[in-house]
Amino acid sequence: MDEGLKMVAVGLAMGLGAIGPGIGIGLVAGRSIEAIGRNPDAEGKIRTNMILAIAFCEAVAIYALVIALILKFT
């Protein structure tokens, strides 16, 4: 019973921890494409900021993965 609950917690930690970054990356990418479409001259600056924002979103997913691994192996 204890091991089963631990696996449920691992699944929830990773699943819920990946939903937010997934939505965030989708929103950032979509808005960046819209901005580049409206102002193609600013593509370099928009792309740089987009990559930075995506990296921050991915950091949240990596934290969720670390928490899931800690839960699984302790």
Q: Please check whether residue 5 is in contact with residue 55, taking contact to mean a CB–CB distance below 8 angstroms.
A: no
Q: Per residue in 16-72, pLDDT tens?
A: 999 999 999 999 999 999 999 999 999 999 999 999 999 999 999 999 999 999 999
pLDDT value at position 74?
A: 87
User: Is the confidence at residue 1, as pLDDT, over 90?
Assistant: no
pLDDT value at position 28?
A: 95
3-state DSSP call for residue 1? coil
Q: Please check whether residue 61 is in contact with residue 19, taking contact to mean a CB–CB distance below 8 angstroms.
A: no
User: Is the confidence at residue 2, as pLDDT, over 90?
Assistant: no
CATH of the domain at 51: 1.20.20.10
The boundaries of the domain holding residue 67 are: 2-73
Q: Give the count of domains, the chain.
A: 1
